[in-house]
Amino acid sequence: MLGFFAIIISISGLFGYANQKWLKLPTTIGVMLISVVMGVCLKTVESVRPVYIEPFRNFLTSFDFSAFVLDFILCFLLFAGSLHVNLSHLRGARATVISYATLGVVISTLLIGFATYALLTAFGMEVFLLHCFLFGAMISPTDPIAVIGILSRYKIPQRLKTEVIGESLFNDGVGIMAFTLILTLIMGGKGAVTPGIVLGMFTIEILGGIAIGFVMGYIAYILLKTIDHYQTEVLITLAVVTGGYSLASSIHASGPLAMVVAGLIIGNKGKANAMSDITAEYVDKFWELIDEICNTILFVLMGLEIFLIPYDNTYILIGVILIGITLAARYISLLPAFFVFNRREPRKRLNLAVLTWGGLRGGISIALSLSLAHRVRESDLFLVCTYCVVLFSVLVQGLTIKHLLKRY
């Protein structure tokens, strides 16, 4: 394990240097672009001289990317992201954020599911509608890691930024729960899931995650308030992340939601009332560094994993078509909440365009798609399609969103 991380961190450091020295793109976009090019080059060499690339293939196949994202790195990234969200701003946009993160995800899942079913049927493929809803569930949530990394570089109206970032932080729990529910239906049959089971899953997953985050955040707040030693206080925040996420996972509650809630409490109430200026500065710098390192590693791995994707021209064509379908579903899913809560906004069309184009997909969608291996027969197809959507999202939407934001 240590050897693996030594290699990945070394690669991440080199790619990060190359990006800062020559490409000068946002870190997440730059390192992923370099990684994708590297993965494609290695795939090309493998098609000619597979023996040369076999050690690299063995290296990647021995690594569980899905578990790495969902069970390890996600907790650090979500906590670091929520640590810098202003709670008063979030409170002012809470109705919109909650609507986007719940109703929006559900609408998007259904729209993408139906459209995917129609598309695959048109290509002559036999597919179950429920499997298409599974794809919709894993591609609908926007990725906070990608969203925060891009939008934090630009000046846009505070409410709009809060809505985009807030939605991306909270919709993971809903998306993962929808994915788990649909996968349970597929694996165990429709009779395995009853309304009572759905309600129980919702209660434990969503409310349990919020409760754990609230309790862990307030325990940390009390501890931070009683001492003034920045080394220990930074360690306390680290304990909240690792301990809280592990606790949530052990009772099948939402670890992502727990981290977001804990981060909001420590980042707002903790900084204001429990930390000295020196401690607050060290906490910020520590988590900014953790965030940057984890982001770089994650996007390097996302790019390199393209080496393992099965190349099929039909799959790629379907994936390209699904890019447009996913964007259309994103736009439609925002409309109900947008016109209910933002009807007085002076620049409705521009705001809606930013919300649609700025809803980036990233590591969470890829991790969920990789977890499907050998569990559904369309796993390879869904993996290719997910990569098509994510690559377009990060590399195209991420690089062009600035042109929309400049209009402000």
Q: What are the CA-CA distances from residue 206 to residues 62, 275, 277, 327 (Å)? A: 32, 29, 34, 26
Which of 301, 298, 311, 295 lies closest to 383, judged by CA?
311
* Predicted local confidence at residue 190, as pLDDT: 56
* pLDDT at res. 259: 95
Q: Which pLDDT score is estimated for 149?
A: 65
Which residues have C-beta within 8 Å of that of residue 315, sequence separation ≥ 6? Answer: 380, 381, 384, 385
Q: Position of tokens 């521009």?
A: 350
**Alpha carbons 207 and 218: distance in angstroms, whole number:** 16
CB 149 within 8 A of CB 58: no
Helices 230-250, 277-304: crossing angle, 10 deg rounding: 50
Tens-place pLDDT, residues 7-59: 999 999 999 999 999 999 888 889 999 999 999 999 999 988 888 899 889 88
119-133 per-position pLDDT tens digit: 999 999 999 999 999
Say which residue the tokens 């680290």 belong to.
238
pLDDT recorded at residue 303: 92
pLDDT band (50, 70, 90) for residue 387: very high
- Does the reported pTM lie above 0.75? yes
pLDDT at position 5: 84
